[in-house]
């Protein structure tokens, strides 16, 4: 290679050159001028260009998913006349470095199954296929999904083999997360909608901010005890929960009654109640001791909505807490919700809910201990 490409951050004045690269590289699914303008100014984007003699000959764009340790390679392109000179590899190496600097652990991408050159490049750089989208591109072709762990962690920690289950209603994240935890401890636990709804009927707070109520942490712990597990609950308050999201005094009274009933049942069933938060050091110890942990988070850092949401912890290491998220939206594949890495600091911020900064977690284990 007679001359090495220079990399720099993309800026708004690059717009026309970027459009030229896009039109030269892709026949379908091109980024529009409007899209380029968006990504050039997006806070969570990593956008770089490769230049030769001040001419833009390629670009790379990564989107850092909010609230997680995941990032997605949104687009990578090099002018056909400049391919075979290592420019794409150089762009991708730099994007991986920038992605890690942003605190992301994994970089994921989609590539046309017919784009053998790109697939060869990605595999040579350590990306692995973990799924596929059928009829993904405008021409009806299939896309392969690939992933690489770009963060260089030492691997210290503990990981547990926990199945993933998708909640089937908008209000049953708690039962879905608990089912994952229980089934990983005992294979007889059924992963089904019927069981999911049965758990919800037992553990529901009746009312919540709107619509159907979610699940009370003590109610979920009681469900686990009823199925032969031992359970302990970590709560920063043992007074009635979630009242601040309900305006009606009648509904608040119902929620208070439900709470007091759960408290009585907990005392009668041997459910251990801790009036404290579950700190990360204790979480690590519980996972190492083969407990399963379900934690309440606020979805604000994920989707901008202040909703309580239950997830199941699958692993912890020196940098991340990993969770199975039972909530799969239309734009996601199941892999997007499995073993999702979340930085420890970000997770600590995420694992609180409401003005009272409520923190709630449930730890279960097999009874014969």
Question: Does 299 score more than 80 pLDDT?
Answer: no
**301 has a pLDDT exceeding 70:** no
Residue 54 lies in a domain: yes
Burial class (CB in 10 A: 0-12, 13-18, 19+), 13: exposed
- CATH, residue 144: 3.40.630.30
Say if residues 273 and 264 touch (Cβ distance below 8 Å).
no
CATH number of the domain bearing residue 271: 3.90.70.10
The structure tokens listed for 304 are 């901008």
Q: φ, ψ for residue 111 (rounded to 5)?
A: -145, 140
Cβ-based neighbour number of residue 120 at 10 Å? 10
The answer on 145 and 162 residing in a single domain is no
pLDDT tens, position by position, 260-296: 999 999 999 999 999 999 999 999 999 999 999 999 9
pLDDT at 151 over 80: no
pLDDT at 368: 67
pLDDT of residue 267: 94
Residues 12 and 90 in one domain: yes
pTM score, whole prediction: 0.69
Mean pLDDT of 84-94: 94
- 64 shares its domain with 93: yes
* Domain match, 91 and 233 both: no
Contacts of 45 (CB under 8 A, 6+ apart): 39, 61, 62, 63, 64, 74
Residues 230 and 122 in one domain: no
Give the Cα separation of 80 and 57 in Å (integer).
9
Most confident of 50-54, 154-158, 305-309: 50-54
- Whole-number average pLDDT of the chain: 89
HSE-up (13 A, CA, CB side) for residue 84: 2
Instruction: Identify the CA nearest to 1 among candidates 62, 60, 57, 76.
Output: 57
Backbone angles phi, psi at 212, to 5 degrees: -70, 150
Q: How many CB atoms lie within 10 A of CB 95?
A: 22
Q: Of 149, 168, 197, which residue constitutes the final position of a domain?
A: 149
Picking from 361, 364, 360, the residue whose alpha carbon sits closest to that of residue 231 is 364
Rounded distance between C-alpha atoms, residue 156 and residue 153, angstroms: 8
Domain count, the chain: 2
Confidence of residue 23 (pLDDT cuts 50, 70, 90): very high
Are residues 61 and 45 in contact, defined by beta-carbon separation less than 8 angstroms? Answer: yes
Would you state the structure tokens that stand for residue 122, as one six-digit string?
């990605």
Give a yes or no: residue 200 inside a domain: yes
The percent of residues in the chain predicted with pLDDT above 90, rounded, is 63
Which pLDDT does position 306 carry in this prediction?
A: 67
Cα–Cα distance for residue pair 273/238, rounded to 1 Å: 9
Residues 227, 85: one domain? no
Q: Answer yes or no: is pLDDT of 323 > 70.
A: yes
Does 98 share its domain with 199?
A: no
Residue labelled with tokens 């579950």: 278
Mention every residue, 6+ apart, whose C-beta is less than 8 A from residue 192.
none
| Distance in angstroms (rounded) separating the CA atoms of residues 354 and 237 | 12
> According to the model, what pLDDT value does residue 142 have?
85
Domain that holds residue 97: 6-149
> Could you tell me if residue 1 is inside a domain?
no
For residue 338, the model assigns a pLDDT of 84
The reported pLDDT for the residue numbered 165 is 96
Which stretches within the chain are classed as H helix?
15-25, 33-41, 87-101, 116-124, 173-185, 193-203, 217-226, 249-269, 280-288, 300-303, 344-350
The whole-number average pLDDT for the span 124-150 is 82
Same domain (yes/no): 87, 207? no
282, two tokens: 């204790």
DSSP 81: G
Domain boundary among 125, 149, 173: 149
For the chain, how far is it from start to end, CA to CA, in angstroms? 65
Most confident segment among 75-84, 132-141, 360-369: 75-84
DSSP state of 30: P
At residue 300, the pLDDT reads 61
Same domain? For 192 and 311 the reply is: yes
Give per-residue pLDDT as tens, 197-246.
999 999 999 887 667 888 999 999 999 999 999 999 999 999 988 888 78
Instruction: Indicate if 119 and 229 belong to the same structural domain.
Output: no
C-beta atoms surrounding 139 within 10 Å: 11
Cα atoms found within 13 Å of the Cα of residue 129, Cβ hemisphere only = 13
The pLDDT, as a whole number, for residue 1 is 41
Which bin fits 112, alpha (ψ -120 to 50), beta or left (φ > 0)?
Answer: beta
Would you state the pLDDT for residue 153?
43
Q: State how far the Cα of 178 lies from the Cα of 271, in Å rounded to an integer.
A: 15
Residue listed under structure tokens 């919700």: 337
Residue that finishes a domain, picked among 149, 182, 197:
149
Q: Are residues 219 and 319 in the same domain?
A: yes
> Do 86 and 130 belong to one domain?
yes
Q: What is the pLDDT of residue 92?
A: 96
Distance CA 204, CA 255 (A): 9
Asked if residue 12 belongs to a domain, the reply is yes
In which band, very low, low, confident or very high, does the pLDDT at 152 lie, cut at 50, 70 and 90?
low
């Amino acid at each position: 290679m007679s001359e090495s490409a220079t990399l720099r951050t993309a800026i708004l004045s690059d717009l026309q050159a970027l459009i030229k690269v896009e039109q030269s590289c892709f026949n379908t699914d091109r980024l529009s001028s409007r899209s380029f303008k968006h990504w050039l100014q997006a806070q969570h984007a990593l956008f770089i260009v490769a230049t030769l003699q001040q001419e833009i000959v390629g670009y790379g764009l990564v989107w850092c998913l909010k609230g997680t340790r995941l990032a997605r390679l949104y687009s990578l392109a090099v002018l056909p006349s400049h391919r075979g000179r290592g420019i794409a590899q150089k762009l991708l190496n730099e994007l991986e470095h920038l992605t890690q600097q942003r605190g992301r652990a994994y970089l994921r991408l989609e590539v046309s199954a017919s784009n053998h050159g790109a697939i060869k490049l990605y595999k040579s750089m350590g990306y692995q296929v973990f799924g596929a989208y059928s009829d993904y591109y405008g021409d009806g072709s299939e896309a392969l999904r690939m992933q690489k762990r770009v963060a260089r962690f030492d691997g210290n920690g503990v990981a547990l083999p926990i199945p993933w289950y998708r909640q089937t209603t908008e209000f049953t994240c708690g039962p879905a997360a608990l089912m994952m935890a229980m089934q990983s401890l005992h294979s007889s636990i059924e992963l089904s909608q019927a069981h999911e709804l049965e758990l919800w009927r037992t553990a529901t707070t009746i009312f919540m901010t709107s619509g159907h109520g979610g699940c009370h942490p003590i109610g979920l712990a009681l469900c686990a005890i009823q199925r032969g597990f031992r359970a302990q609950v970590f709560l920063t308050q043992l007074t009635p929960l979630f009242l601040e999201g309900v305006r009606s005094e009648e509904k608040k009274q119902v929620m208070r009654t439900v709470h007091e009933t759960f408290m009585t049942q907990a005392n009668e069933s041997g459910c251990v109640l801790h009036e404290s938060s579950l700190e990360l050091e204790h979480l690590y110890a519980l996972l190492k001791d083969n407990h399963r942990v379900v934690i309440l988070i606020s979805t604000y850092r994920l989707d901008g909505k202040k909703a309580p949401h239950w997830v199941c912890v699958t692993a912890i290491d020196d940098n991340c807490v990993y969770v199975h998220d039972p909530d799969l939206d239309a734009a996601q594949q199941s892999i997007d919700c499995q073993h999702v890495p979340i930085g420890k600091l970000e997770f600590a911020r995420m694992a609180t809910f409401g003005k009272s900064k409520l923190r709630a977690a449930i730890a279960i284990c097999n009874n014969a201990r």
